[in-house]
Structure 1
Amino acid sequence: MSSSTTGRRRRAVPLLALLAAGTLTLGAAPAADTDPVPSQGPAAAAPDASAPEADAQGGAPRKISPYTGLMAEQGPVLAVKFDNARGARPHHNLDKADIVYVEKVEGGMSRLMGVYSSKIPRAVGPVRSARESDVELLKQFGRPALAYSGVRSSLHKFLKDSPIYVRSHGALPRAYYRAPGRNAPHNLFVNPGMVLKSAPRAHKPKDIGFRFGPAPKGGTRTAERTVRYASASHTFRWSPSQKRWYVRFDGAPAWQSNGKQMSARTIVIQKVKMPPSKYRDVNGAVTPYIKTVGEGWATVLRDGKAYKSWWMRPNTKSGTKFIQKGGKPMPFAKGQVWIVYEDA
Protein backbone atom coordinates (compact mmCIF):
# COMPACT_ATOMS: atom_id res chain seq x y z
CA MET A 1 0.00 0.00 0.00
CA SER A 2 1.41 3.40 -0.94
CA SER A 3 2.07 6.13 1.60
CA SER A 4 -0.50 8.36 -0.11
CA THR A 5 -3.19 5.68 0.27
CA THR A 6 -2.26 5.24 3.90
CA GLY A 7 -2.56 8.97 4.46
CA ARG A 8 -6.00 9.11 2.92
CA ARG A 9 -7.21 6.35 5.24
CA ARG A 10 -5.77 7.70 8.45
CA ARG A 11 -8.05 8.44 11.33
CA ALA A 12 -9.20 12.02 11.68
CA VAL A 13 -7.29 13.95 14.34
CA PRO A 14 -9.58 15.01 17.22
CA LEU A 15 -11.19 18.34 16.47
CA LEU A 16 -10.16 20.14 19.63
CA ALA A 17 -6.50 19.26 19.11
CA LEU A 18 -6.60 20.64 15.59
CA LEU A 19 -8.31 23.80 16.75
CA ALA A 20 -5.74 24.32 19.49
CA ALA A 21 -2.93 23.89 17.03
CA GLY A 22 -4.54 26.32 14.62
CA THR A 23 -4.24 23.83 11.75
CA LEU A 24 -7.92 23.29 11.01
CA THR A 25 -10.30 25.51 9.10
CA LEU A 26 -13.83 24.54 10.04
CA GLY A 27 -15.95 23.46 7.12
CA ALA A 28 -12.96 22.85 4.83
CA ALA A 29 -13.33 20.33 2.01
CA PRO A 30 -11.64 16.92 2.06
CA ALA A 31 -8.39 16.69 0.15
CA ALA A 32 -9.01 13.27 -1.41
CA ASP A 33 -11.83 11.15 -2.80
CA THR A 34 -11.38 7.55 -1.69
CA ASP A 35 -14.87 6.10 -1.77
CA PRO A 36 -16.34 3.46 -1.88
CA VAL A 37 -14.08 2.42 1.01
CA PRO A 38 -14.59 4.46 4.20
CA SER A 39 -13.16 7.89 3.46
CA GLN A 40 -11.39 10.07 5.97
CA GLY A 41 -12.17 13.71 5.45
CA PRO A 42 -11.31 16.56 7.81
CA ALA A 43 -12.82 16.95 11.24
CA ALA A 44 -15.06 20.00 11.02
CA ALA A 45 -17.75 21.97 12.75
CA ALA A 46 -18.16 20.25 16.11
CA PRO A 47 -19.69 21.86 18.28
CA ASP A 48 -20.89 21.82 21.88
CA ALA A 49 -18.95 19.69 24.34
CA SER A 50 -21.10 20.63 27.32
CA ALA A 51 -22.76 17.21 27.58
CA PRO A 52 -21.54 13.69 26.82
CA GLU A 53 -22.94 11.71 23.94
CA ALA A 54 -25.15 8.90 25.18
CA ASP A 55 -27.70 6.32 24.22
CA ALA A 56 -31.38 7.19 24.51
CA GLN A 57 -32.48 9.34 27.41
CA GLY A 58 -33.22 8.05 30.88
CA GLY A 59 -31.68 4.58 30.71
CA ALA A 60 -34.63 3.19 28.77
CA PRO A 61 -34.90 -0.62 28.53
CA ARG A 62 -32.97 -2.17 25.65
CA LYS A 63 -34.98 -3.97 22.99
CA ILE A 64 -35.02 -4.34 19.22
CA SER A 65 -35.53 -1.00 17.53
CA PRO A 66 -38.38 -0.95 14.98
CA TYR A 67 -36.31 1.60 13.03
CA THR A 68 -33.02 -0.30 12.69
CA GLY A 69 -33.67 -3.92 13.72
CA LEU A 70 -30.81 -3.63 16.22
CA MET A 71 -30.85 -4.03 19.98
CA ALA A 72 -30.88 -0.51 21.43
CA GLU A 73 -32.27 1.67 24.16
CA GLN A 74 -35.60 3.19 23.20
CA GLY A 75 -35.76 6.87 24.01
CA PRO A 76 -38.28 9.46 22.82
CA VAL A 77 -38.30 10.18 19.09
CA LEU A 78 -36.69 13.35 17.79
CA ALA A 79 -36.62 14.46 14.15
CA VAL A 80 -34.08 17.08 13.06
CA LYS A 81 -34.15 18.98 9.75
CA PHE A 82 -30.65 19.17 8.24
CA ASP A 83 -29.35 21.67 5.74
CA ASN A 84 -27.87 19.96 2.67
CA ALA A 85 -26.55 22.87 0.64
CA ARG A 86 -22.89 22.60 -0.35
CA GLY A 87 -21.96 25.16 2.31
CA ALA A 88 -23.62 23.06 5.00
CA ARG A 89 -21.32 20.09 4.60
CA PRO A 90 -19.86 18.15 6.33
CA HIS A 91 -22.79 17.13 8.54
CA HIS A 92 -22.40 16.51 12.25
CA ASN A 93 -23.78 13.35 13.88
CA LEU A 94 -26.20 12.51 11.08
CA ASP A 95 -24.68 9.01 11.27
CA LYS A 96 -26.19 8.64 14.76
CA ALA A 97 -29.75 8.85 13.38
CA ASP A 98 -31.82 5.67 13.10
CA ILE A 99 -33.42 6.87 9.85
CA VAL A 100 -32.36 9.49 7.31
CA TYR A 101 -34.90 10.99 4.89
CA VAL A 102 -33.87 12.85 1.72
CA GLU A 103 -36.46 15.42 0.61
CA LYS A 104 -36.79 17.73 -2.39
CA VAL A 105 -37.35 21.42 -1.63
CA GLU A 106 -37.56 24.66 -3.61
CA GLY A 107 -35.47 25.01 -6.74
CA GLY A 108 -34.79 21.28 -6.88
CA MET A 109 -32.44 21.41 -3.88
CA SER A 110 -32.52 18.78 -1.14
CA ARG A 111 -32.85 18.73 2.62
CA LEU A 112 -32.30 15.87 5.03
CA MET A 113 -34.21 14.74 8.09
CA GLY A 114 -32.60 12.58 10.76
CA VAL A 115 -34.86 10.60 13.10
CA TYR A 116 -33.22 9.79 16.45
CA SER A 117 -34.17 7.48 19.30
CA SER A 118 -31.50 4.82 19.89
CA LYS A 119 -28.74 7.38 20.39
CA ILE A 120 -29.06 11.03 21.35
CA PRO A 121 -25.92 12.96 20.36
CA ARG A 122 -24.86 16.05 22.25
CA ALA A 123 -25.11 18.18 19.10
CA VAL A 124 -26.30 17.82 15.50
CA GLY A 125 -26.43 20.07 12.49
CA PRO A 126 -26.40 22.24 10.59
CA VAL A 127 -30.14 22.74 11.09
CA ARG A 128 -32.55 24.31 8.58
CA SER A 129 -36.26 24.98 8.20
CA ALA A 130 -39.22 22.59 8.16
CA ARG A 131 -41.79 22.09 5.40
CA GLU A 132 -45.55 21.48 5.31
CA SER A 133 -45.24 17.84 4.23
CA ASP A 134 -42.98 17.05 7.20
CA VAL A 135 -46.12 16.87 9.34
CA GLU A 136 -47.66 14.18 7.13
CA LEU A 137 -44.40 12.23 7.15
CA LEU A 138 -43.87 12.43 10.91
CA LYS A 139 -47.39 11.49 12.03
CA GLN A 140 -46.50 7.82 11.51
CA PHE A 141 -44.12 8.21 14.48
CA GLY A 142 -46.98 9.25 16.78
CA ARG A 143 -46.03 12.50 18.52
CA PRO A 144 -42.30 13.01 18.04
CA ALA A 145 -40.38 16.21 18.71
CA LEU A 146 -39.12 18.21 15.73
CA ALA A 147 -36.06 20.49 15.76
CA TYR A 148 -35.70 23.02 12.94
CA SER A 149 -34.47 26.53 12.32
CA GLY A 150 -37.77 28.21 11.47
CA VAL A 151 -40.42 28.65 8.78
CA ARG A 152 -42.33 31.37 6.97
CA SER A 153 -44.91 33.04 9.22
CA SER A 154 -47.73 31.58 7.09
CA LEU A 155 -46.56 28.04 7.91
CA HIS A 156 -45.83 28.66 11.59
CA LYS A 157 -49.45 28.24 12.75
CA PHE A 158 -49.87 25.07 10.69
CA LEU A 159 -46.88 23.46 12.42
CA LYS A 160 -47.87 24.74 15.84
CA ASP A 161 -51.36 23.26 15.46
CA SER A 162 -50.01 19.86 14.40
CA PRO A 163 -49.71 16.95 16.88
CA ILE A 164 -45.91 17.16 16.66
CA TYR A 165 -43.89 18.81 19.43
CA VAL A 166 -42.36 21.54 17.28
CA ARG A 167 -39.27 23.11 18.82
CA SER A 168 -37.81 25.71 16.48
CA HIS A 169 -34.78 27.92 16.99
CA GLY A 170 -37.09 30.87 17.63
CA ALA A 171 -39.24 29.01 20.17
CA LEU A 172 -36.38 27.34 22.07
CA PRO A 173 -33.29 29.50 21.47
CA ARG A 174 -31.29 28.11 24.40
CA ALA A 175 -31.14 24.70 22.66
CA TYR A 176 -29.45 26.16 19.56
CA TYR A 177 -26.15 27.88 18.89
CA ARG A 178 -23.99 29.12 16.02
CA ALA A 179 -20.84 27.09 15.32
CA PRO A 180 -17.71 29.21 14.72
CA GLY A 181 -15.94 28.83 11.41
CA ARG A 182 -19.07 28.23 9.34
CA ASN A 183 -20.94 30.83 7.35
CA ALA A 184 -24.59 31.67 8.09
CA PRO A 185 -27.12 30.28 7.50
CA HIS A 186 -25.18 26.99 7.48
CA ASN A 187 -23.85 27.32 11.04
CA LEU A 188 -26.88 26.61 13.24
CA PHE A 189 -26.58 23.55 15.51
CA VAL A 190 -28.90 22.08 18.13
CA ASN A 191 -28.54 20.16 21.38
CA PRO A 192 -31.03 17.25 21.01
CA GLY A 193 -31.11 16.53 24.76
CA MET A 194 -32.37 20.04 25.48
CA VAL A 195 -35.04 19.73 22.81
CA LEU A 196 -36.30 16.44 24.26
CA LYS A 197 -36.24 17.87 27.78
CA SER A 198 -38.69 20.52 26.56
CA ALA A 199 -40.96 17.78 25.16
CA PRO A 200 -41.13 15.17 27.96
CA ARG A 201 -44.20 13.50 26.45
CA ALA A 202 -42.68 12.86 23.04
CA HIS A 203 -43.56 9.34 21.98
CA LYS A 204 -41.14 6.43 22.02
CA PRO A 205 -40.59 4.22 18.95
CA LYS A 206 -43.40 2.08 17.58
CA ASP A 207 -43.82 -0.10 14.50
CA ILE A 208 -43.72 2.08 11.37
CA GLY A 209 -43.80 -0.79 8.89
CA PHE A 210 -40.10 -1.66 8.53
CA ARG A 211 -39.09 -5.32 8.56
CA PHE A 212 -35.54 -6.64 8.93
CA GLY A 213 -33.98 -9.94 7.99
CA PRO A 214 -31.85 -11.85 5.47
CA ALA A 215 -31.89 -10.69 1.87
CA PRO A 216 -34.59 -12.39 -0.20
CA LYS A 217 -33.93 -14.27 -3.41
CA GLY A 218 -33.80 -12.36 -6.67
CA GLY A 219 -32.86 -8.73 -7.00
CA THR A 220 -30.63 -7.16 -9.63
CA ARG A 221 -26.93 -6.72 -8.98
CA THR A 222 -26.31 -2.99 -8.69
CA ALA A 223 -23.05 -1.15 -8.11
CA GLU A 224 -24.45 2.39 -8.07
CA ARG A 225 -27.74 4.25 -8.10
CA THR A 226 -28.38 8.00 -8.36
CA VAL A 227 -31.49 10.03 -7.52
CA ARG A 228 -31.49 13.48 -9.12
CA TYR A 229 -33.45 16.61 -8.38
CA ALA A 230 -33.18 19.71 -10.56
CA SER A 231 -30.30 21.15 -8.49
CA ALA A 232 -29.05 18.18 -6.46
CA SER A 233 -27.89 14.61 -6.95
CA HIS A 234 -27.64 11.75 -4.46
CA THR A 235 -25.53 8.75 -5.39
CA PHE A 236 -25.17 5.47 -3.52
CA ARG A 237 -22.19 3.21 -4.35
CA TRP A 238 -21.92 -0.35 -3.12
CA SER A 239 -18.67 -1.41 -1.47
CA PRO A 240 -18.33 -5.23 -1.61
CA SER A 241 -15.52 -5.16 0.95
CA GLN A 242 -17.36 -2.99 3.46
CA LYS A 243 -20.84 -4.30 2.57
CA ARG A 244 -22.30 -0.80 2.68
CA TRP A 245 -23.64 1.84 0.32
CA TYR A 246 -21.43 4.93 0.40
CA VAL A 247 -23.17 8.26 -0.13
CA ARG A 248 -22.21 11.07 -2.51
CA PHE A 249 -23.93 14.44 -2.77
CA ASP A 250 -23.63 16.42 -6.02
CA GLY A 251 -20.83 14.15 -7.24
CA ALA A 252 -18.64 14.40 -4.13
CA PRO A 253 -18.35 12.12 -1.08
CA ALA A 254 -20.86 12.97 1.66
CA TRP A 255 -18.45 13.72 4.49
CA GLN A 256 -19.25 13.78 8.17
CA SER A 257 -17.49 16.03 10.66
CA ASN A 258 -15.70 12.97 12.11
CA GLY A 259 -13.87 12.57 8.81
CA LYS A 260 -15.84 9.54 7.60
CA GLN A 261 -18.05 9.23 4.57
CA MET A 262 -21.75 8.64 5.18
CA SER A 263 -22.97 5.14 4.42
CA ALA A 264 -25.76 2.70 5.19
CA ARG A 265 -26.63 -0.92 4.55
CA THR A 266 -30.16 -0.16 3.31
CA ILE A 267 -31.20 2.60 0.90
CA VAL A 268 -34.87 2.88 -0.07
CA ILE A 269 -35.70 4.93 -3.15
CA GLN A 270 -39.40 5.67 -2.77
CA LYS A 271 -41.32 7.11 -5.71
CA VAL A 272 -43.89 9.67 -4.54
CA LYS A 273 -45.95 12.46 -6.00
CA MET A 274 -44.63 15.96 -5.27
CA PRO A 275 -47.27 18.52 -6.30
CA PRO A 276 -46.78 22.21 -5.48
CA SER A 277 -47.55 23.17 -1.90
CA LYS A 278 -49.60 26.27 -1.13
CA TYR A 279 -46.53 27.69 0.61
CA ARG A 280 -43.54 29.49 -0.91
CA ASP A 281 -40.05 30.25 0.35
CA VAL A 282 -38.71 33.75 1.09
CA ASN A 283 -37.79 34.19 -2.58
CA GLY A 284 -41.26 33.24 -3.79
CA ALA A 285 -40.31 29.76 -5.02
CA VAL A 286 -43.04 27.15 -4.63
CA THR A 287 -42.40 24.40 -2.08
CA PRO A 288 -43.00 20.81 -3.26
CA TYR A 289 -45.46 18.80 -1.14
CA ILE A 290 -44.08 15.28 -0.68
CA LYS A 291 -47.06 12.93 -0.53
CA THR A 292 -46.03 10.08 1.76
CA VAL A 293 -49.58 8.73 2.14
CA GLY A 294 -50.68 6.46 -0.69
CA GLU A 295 -48.81 3.76 -2.56
CA GLY A 296 -46.33 3.33 -5.37
CA TRP A 297 -43.08 1.78 -6.53
CA ALA A 298 -39.90 1.67 -4.50
CA THR A 299 -36.42 0.27 -5.04
CA VAL A 300 -34.68 -1.22 -2.02
CA LEU A 301 -30.88 -1.30 -2.25
CA ARG A 302 -29.19 -3.83 0.01
CA ASP A 303 -26.35 -6.36 -0.21
CA GLY A 304 -25.23 -5.05 -3.59
CA LYS A 305 -28.63 -5.63 -5.22
CA ALA A 306 -31.71 -3.61 -6.15
CA TYR A 307 -35.10 -5.08 -5.26
CA LYS A 308 -38.21 -3.72 -6.94
CA SER A 309 -40.84 -3.23 -4.26
CA TRP A 310 -44.23 -1.65 -3.63
CA TRP A 311 -44.86 0.79 -0.77
CA MET A 312 -48.20 1.34 0.97
CA ARG A 313 -49.28 3.84 3.59
CA PRO A 314 -53.09 4.11 3.85
CA ASN A 315 -53.31 7.11 6.20
CA THR A 316 -51.18 9.55 8.20
CA LYS A 317 -51.31 7.51 11.39
CA SER A 318 -50.18 4.28 9.77
CA GLY A 319 -46.64 3.22 9.03
CA THR A 320 -45.22 2.59 5.57
CA LYS A 321 -45.01 -1.02 4.41
CA PHE A 322 -42.62 -2.19 1.70
CA ILE A 323 -43.72 -5.32 -0.15
CA GLN A 324 -41.65 -7.52 -2.46
CA LYS A 325 -42.95 -9.46 -5.45
CA GLY A 326 -45.27 -12.20 -4.20
CA GLY A 327 -46.74 -10.09 -1.41
CA LYS A 328 -44.17 -10.76 1.31
CA PRO A 329 -42.64 -7.88 3.33
CA MET A 330 -39.39 -6.59 1.84
CA PRO A 331 -36.77 -7.09 4.58
CA PHE A 332 -34.12 -4.42 5.20
CA ALA A 333 -30.57 -5.05 6.37
CA LYS A 334 -30.12 -4.14 10.02
CA GLY A 335 -28.80 -0.69 10.77
CA GLN A 336 -29.50 2.89 9.73
CA VAL A 337 -32.06 3.13 6.91
CA TRP A 338 -32.11 5.90 4.27
CA ILE A 339 -35.39 6.81 2.59
CA VAL A 340 -34.83 8.87 -0.57
CA TYR A 341 -37.91 10.45 -2.16
CA GLU A 342 -37.98 10.44 -5.96
CA ASP A 343 -40.57 11.97 -8.28
CA ALA A 344 -43.12 9.37 -9.35
Structure 2
Amino acid sequence: NYPEALGPIRSARISDLSILGEYGRVGYLYSGAQSKMRPVIAEANLVNLSAERNPPSIYFNDLARRSPYSMMVKPNLLLEKAADVELAKKPGWQHGPRTKGAKKIISAEIDWPNARYEAYWSAIERKFLLKHNGRENMASSGVQLGSPMMVIQMVKISPSEYGDKFGGVTPKSEVIGSGHGYLLRNQRVVKARWNRASISEPTTWSLDDGSPAYFAPGQIWFFLTDTEPKFTYLPKPAKS
Protein backbone atom coordinates (compact mmCIF):
# COMPACT_ATOMS: atom_id res chain seq x y z
CA ASN A 1 0.00 0.00 0.00
CA TYR A 2 1.29 3.43 -0.95
CA PRO A 3 0.32 6.78 0.56
CA GLU A 4 -1.95 9.06 -1.45
CA ALA A 5 0.90 11.55 -1.83
CA LEU A 6 4.65 11.15 -1.41
CA GLY A 7 7.40 13.72 -1.18
CA PRO A 8 8.88 16.19 -1.25
CA ILE A 9 10.26 15.45 -4.73
CA ARG A 10 13.49 17.34 -5.37
CA SER A 11 15.45 18.21 -8.49
CA ALA A 12 17.83 15.78 -10.20
CA ARG A 13 21.37 15.51 -8.81
CA ILE A 14 24.28 13.91 -10.63
CA SER A 15 25.00 11.68 -7.62
CA ASP A 16 21.53 10.13 -7.98
CA LEU A 17 22.63 8.28 -11.11
CA SER A 18 25.58 6.64 -9.34
CA ILE A 19 23.52 5.80 -6.26
CA LEU A 20 20.71 4.16 -8.25
CA GLY A 21 22.98 2.40 -10.76
CA GLU A 22 23.55 -0.66 -8.58
CA TYR A 23 19.83 -1.47 -8.43
CA GLY A 24 19.30 -1.97 -12.17
CA ARG A 25 16.70 -0.32 -14.39
CA VAL A 26 14.61 1.33 -11.70
CA GLY A 27 12.31 4.36 -11.89
CA TYR A 28 13.83 7.81 -11.32
CA LEU A 29 11.58 10.46 -9.79
CA TYR A 30 12.62 14.12 -9.74
CA SER A 31 11.01 17.55 -10.06
CA GLY A 32 13.27 18.96 -12.77
CA ALA A 33 16.81 18.87 -14.16
CA GLN A 34 19.34 21.29 -15.62
CA SER A 35 19.36 21.18 -19.42
CA LYS A 36 23.03 20.18 -19.32
CA MET A 37 22.18 17.11 -17.25
CA ARG A 38 19.23 15.83 -19.29
CA PRO A 39 21.34 13.96 -21.89
CA VAL A 40 23.22 12.25 -19.04
CA ILE A 41 19.94 11.12 -17.49
CA ALA A 42 18.76 9.87 -20.89
CA GLU A 43 21.87 7.68 -21.22
CA ALA A 44 21.59 6.21 -17.72
CA ASN A 45 20.07 2.76 -17.13
CA LEU A 46 16.98 4.30 -15.50
CA VAL A 47 13.34 4.87 -16.40
CA ASN A 48 12.57 8.60 -16.36
CA LEU A 49 9.40 9.04 -14.28
CA SER A 50 10.00 12.71 -13.50
CA ALA A 51 7.65 15.68 -13.35
CA GLU A 52 9.16 16.76 -16.68
CA ARG A 53 7.41 13.80 -18.30
CA ASN A 54 4.21 13.56 -16.30
CA PRO A 55 1.16 15.83 -15.88
CA PRO A 56 0.02 17.89 -12.87
CA SER A 57 -2.53 15.17 -12.12
CA ILE A 58 0.44 13.04 -10.97
CA TYR A 59 2.95 15.65 -9.76
CA PHE A 60 1.60 18.67 -7.89
CA ASN A 61 2.71 21.46 -5.58
CA ASP A 62 1.44 21.25 -2.02
CA LEU A 63 0.34 24.79 -1.10
CA ALA A 64 1.02 24.06 2.56
CA ARG A 65 4.73 23.65 1.78
CA ARG A 66 7.28 26.20 0.64
CA SER A 67 9.53 25.74 -2.37
CA PRO A 68 11.74 23.78 -2.99
CA TYR A 69 9.99 21.32 -0.67
CA SER A 70 6.50 21.66 -2.13
CA MET A 71 6.39 19.18 -5.02
CA MET A 72 4.63 15.90 -4.26
CA VAL A 73 3.72 12.85 -6.32
CA LYS A 74 0.73 10.51 -6.35
CA PRO A 75 2.54 7.14 -6.42
CA ASN A 76 -0.45 5.00 -7.37
CA LEU A 77 -1.01 7.06 -10.53
CA LEU A 78 2.70 7.17 -11.35
CA LEU A 79 2.96 3.38 -11.14
CA GLU A 80 0.58 3.16 -14.08
CA LYS A 81 3.34 4.81 -16.14
CA ALA A 82 6.07 2.47 -14.86
CA ALA A 83 5.71 -0.49 -17.24
CA ASP A 84 9.40 -0.32 -18.24
CA VAL A 85 10.67 -0.42 -14.67
CA GLU A 86 12.39 -3.67 -13.69
CA LEU A 87 12.52 -5.27 -10.26
CA ALA A 88 15.38 -3.79 -8.28
CA LYS A 89 18.50 -5.94 -8.07
CA LYS A 90 19.41 -7.46 -4.73
CA PRO A 91 21.52 -5.04 -2.65
CA GLY A 92 25.07 -5.93 -1.71
CA TRP A 93 24.61 -6.04 2.04
CA GLN A 94 23.71 -9.16 4.01
CA HIS A 95 21.23 -9.61 6.84
CA GLY A 96 22.32 -11.27 10.04
CA PRO A 97 22.92 -10.86 13.77
CA ARG A 98 24.27 -7.66 15.24
CA THR A 99 28.06 -7.49 15.33
CA LYS A 100 29.58 -8.48 18.66
CA GLY A 101 31.45 -5.62 20.25
CA ALA A 102 29.16 -2.91 18.83
CA LYS A 103 29.03 0.01 21.27
CA LYS A 104 25.88 1.39 22.87
CA ILE A 105 25.08 4.98 21.96
CA ILE A 106 22.61 7.64 23.00
CA SER A 107 22.77 9.55 19.74
CA ALA A 108 24.69 10.29 16.54
CA GLU A 109 25.11 13.72 14.92
CA ILE A 110 25.54 13.87 11.13
CA ASP A 111 26.66 17.19 9.63
CA TRP A 112 26.79 18.91 6.25
CA PRO A 113 27.62 22.56 5.52
CA ASN A 114 23.94 23.60 5.52
CA ALA A 115 22.22 20.92 7.57
CA ARG A 116 22.56 18.85 10.72
CA TYR A 117 20.73 15.67 11.67
CA GLU A 118 20.67 13.96 15.04
CA ALA A 119 19.62 10.33 15.34
CA TYR A 120 18.80 9.31 18.89
CA TRP A 121 17.62 5.98 20.22
CA SER A 122 14.05 5.64 21.49
CA ALA A 123 13.64 2.71 23.85
CA ILE A 124 9.85 3.07 23.58
CA GLU A 125 9.68 2.97 19.77
CA ARG A 126 12.71 0.67 19.42
CA LYS A 127 14.28 2.76 16.68
CA PHE A 128 16.44 5.80 16.04
CA LEU A 129 14.39 9.00 15.79
CA LEU A 130 15.54 12.06 13.85
CA LYS A 131 16.02 15.73 14.57
CA HIS A 132 16.78 18.16 11.73
CA ASN A 133 18.69 21.32 12.63
CA GLY A 134 17.71 20.84 16.25
CA ARG A 135 14.00 20.26 15.64
CA GLU A 136 12.11 16.97 15.66
CA ASN A 137 11.86 15.72 12.07
CA MET A 138 8.14 15.12 11.55
CA ALA A 139 6.09 13.55 8.78
CA SER A 140 2.91 15.33 7.67
CA SER A 141 0.99 12.64 9.58
CA GLY A 142 2.47 13.95 12.82
CA VAL A 143 4.75 10.94 13.34
CA GLN A 144 8.41 11.62 14.05
CA LEU A 145 10.64 10.21 11.32
CA GLY A 146 13.04 7.43 12.20
CA SER A 147 14.22 3.90 11.47
CA PRO A 148 15.43 0.82 13.39
CA MET A 149 18.66 0.88 11.35
CA MET A 150 20.70 3.70 9.90
CA VAL A 151 23.92 3.72 7.90
CA ILE A 152 26.34 6.64 7.85
CA GLN A 153 28.48 6.16 4.73
CA MET A 154 31.63 8.27 4.54
CA VAL A 155 32.22 9.47 0.98
CA LYS A 156 34.16 12.14 -0.87
CA ILE A 157 31.93 15.13 -1.70
CA SER A 158 33.17 17.65 -4.24
CA PRO A 159 31.70 20.32 -6.56
CA SER A 160 30.33 18.86 -9.80
CA GLU A 161 30.26 20.47 -13.23
CA TYR A 162 26.56 21.21 -12.78
CA GLY A 163 25.49 24.60 -11.45
CA ASP A 164 22.52 26.95 -11.61
CA LYS A 165 21.96 30.47 -12.95
CA PHE A 166 22.42 31.89 -9.46
CA GLY A 167 25.96 30.55 -9.17
CA GLY A 168 25.13 27.56 -6.99
CA VAL A 169 27.10 24.38 -7.63
CA THR A 170 25.63 20.90 -7.22
CA PRO A 171 27.89 18.67 -5.09
CA LYS A 172 28.78 15.15 -6.18
CA SER A 173 29.10 12.23 -3.75
CA GLU A 174 31.58 9.53 -4.77
CA VAL A 175 29.82 6.24 -4.02
CA ILE A 176 31.97 4.04 -6.28
CA GLY A 177 35.23 2.84 -4.78
CA SER A 178 35.79 2.02 -1.13
CA GLY A 179 35.72 3.65 2.26
CA HIS A 180 34.33 3.29 5.75
CA GLY A 181 31.06 3.96 7.48
CA TYR A 182 29.02 3.25 10.59
CA LEU A 183 26.10 0.86 11.08
CA LEU A 184 23.55 1.91 13.69
CA ARG A 185 21.13 -0.76 14.93
CA ASN A 186 19.58 -1.81 18.24
CA GLN A 187 20.99 1.27 20.02
CA ARG A 188 24.52 0.32 18.98
CA VAL A 189 27.11 1.40 16.43
CA VAL A 190 29.90 -0.48 14.70
CA LYS A 191 32.46 0.78 12.20
CA ALA A 192 32.53 -1.05 8.86
CA ARG A 193 34.10 -0.94 5.40
CA TRP A 194 32.19 -0.42 2.14
CA ASN A 195 33.29 -1.42 -1.35
CA ARG A 196 31.74 -0.95 -4.78
CA ALA A 197 33.66 -1.82 -7.95
CA SER A 198 31.52 -0.08 -10.60
CA ILE A 199 28.23 1.74 -11.17
CA SER A 200 26.40 -1.52 -11.93
CA GLU A 201 27.91 -3.47 -9.02
CA PRO A 202 26.38 -3.62 -5.52
CA THR A 203 27.93 -2.01 -2.47
CA THR A 204 29.21 -4.61 -0.01
CA TRP A 205 29.90 -4.04 3.67
CA SER A 206 32.47 -5.84 5.81
CA LEU A 207 34.24 -5.67 9.15
CA ASP A 208 37.97 -5.09 9.57
CA ASP A 209 38.61 -8.86 9.54
CA GLY A 210 36.84 -9.23 6.17
CA SER A 211 33.71 -10.91 7.56
CA PRO A 212 30.29 -9.49 6.59
CA ALA A 213 28.97 -6.48 8.48
CA TYR A 214 25.39 -7.63 8.89
CA PHE A 215 22.40 -5.37 8.42
CA ALA A 216 19.10 -5.70 10.27
CA PRO A 217 16.09 -6.74 8.16
CA GLY A 218 13.54 -4.06 7.38
CA GLN A 219 13.81 -0.34 6.74
CA ILE A 220 17.31 1.15 6.42
CA TRP A 221 18.17 4.83 6.08
CA PHE A 222 21.46 5.97 4.54
CA PHE A 223 23.35 9.21 5.15
CA LEU A 224 26.17 10.17 2.76
CA THR A 225 28.62 12.63 4.30
CA ASP A 226 32.29 13.61 4.27
CA THR A 227 32.26 14.80 7.89
CA GLU A 228 32.85 12.27 10.64
CA PRO A 229 29.74 11.82 12.81
CA LYS A 230 29.75 12.66 16.50
CA PHE A 231 28.56 9.85 18.74
CA THR A 232 27.33 10.20 22.30
CA TYR A 233 28.05 6.87 23.95
CA LEU A 234 26.03 5.35 26.76
CA PRO A 235 28.14 5.44 29.95
CA LYS A 236 29.15 2.09 31.34
CA PRO A 237 27.45 1.18 34.63
CA ALA A 238 29.57 2.02 37.65
CA LYS A 239 31.13 -0.95 39.40
CA SER A 240 29.64 -1.65 42.81
TM-score, structure 1 as length reference: 0.63
Structure 1 residue 255: Cα displacement: 0.1
Question: Quick check: 1:199 aligned with 2:82?
Answer: yes
Residues 154, 179 of structure 2: 8 Å contact kept? yes
Q: CA RMSD in A?
A: 1.5
Q: Which residue of 2 aligns with 1:250?
A: 133
Check 1:273–1:237 CA distance in 2 against 1; reply closer, same or farther (3 A cut). same
Q: Which residue of 2 aligns with 1:212?
A: 95
Task: Give the letter for the 2:52 counterpart.
Answer: G
Contact 1:245 1:263 (8 Å CA) reproduced: yes
* Alpha-carbon offset, residue 193 of structure 1: 2.5
Structure-1 residue corresponding to 2:27: 145
Amino acid at match of 1:229: W
- Aligned positions of 1:22-171 closer than 5 A: 54=1, 120-171=2-53
Report the equivalent of 1:294. 177
Query: C-alpha distance in 2, partners of 1:313/1:236?
Result: 26
> Which whole-Å deviations, capped at 9, do the CAs of 1:271-290 have from their partners, x for residues lacking one?
01112111113421121111
Q: In the alignment, residue 131 of structure 2 is paired with which amino acid? A: R
Q: How far off its partner does 1:210 sit?
A: 2.1
**1:196–1:282 distance in 2 versus 1, CA, 3 Å:** farther
Deviation, 1:221, is: 1.6
TM-score (norm 2): 0.89
Distance in 2 (CA, whole Å) between partners of 1:159 and 1:249 is: 30
Paired with 1:234 and 1:179, the residues of 2 have a C-alpha distance of 24
Unaligned runs of 5+ in 1: 1-53, 55-119
Percent identity for Structure 1 against Structure 2: 30
Is 1:227 aligned to 2:114, yes or no? no
Paired residues, what number? 226
CA contact (8 A) 1:152 1:282 kept: no
Structure-1 separation of matches of 2:94 and 2:43: 32
Structure 2: give runs of 5+ residues left out of the alignment. Answer: 228-240
Q: Determine if the alignment matches structure 1 residue 276 to structure 2 residue 159.
A: yes
Supply the distance in 2 between the matched residues of 1:321 and 1:248 (Cα, whole angstroms).
28
Secondary structure of 1:222's counterpart equals: strand
Shift of 1:309: 0.2
Partner of 2:186: 303
Find the aligned partners of 1:185 and 1:264 in 2 and give their Cα distance: 25
- Aligned counterparts of 1:183 and 1:133: Cα–Cα separation in 2: 24
Code of the aligned partner of 1:281: D
Shift of 1:213: 2.2
* Superposed structure 1 runs of 4+ greater than 6 Å apart: none
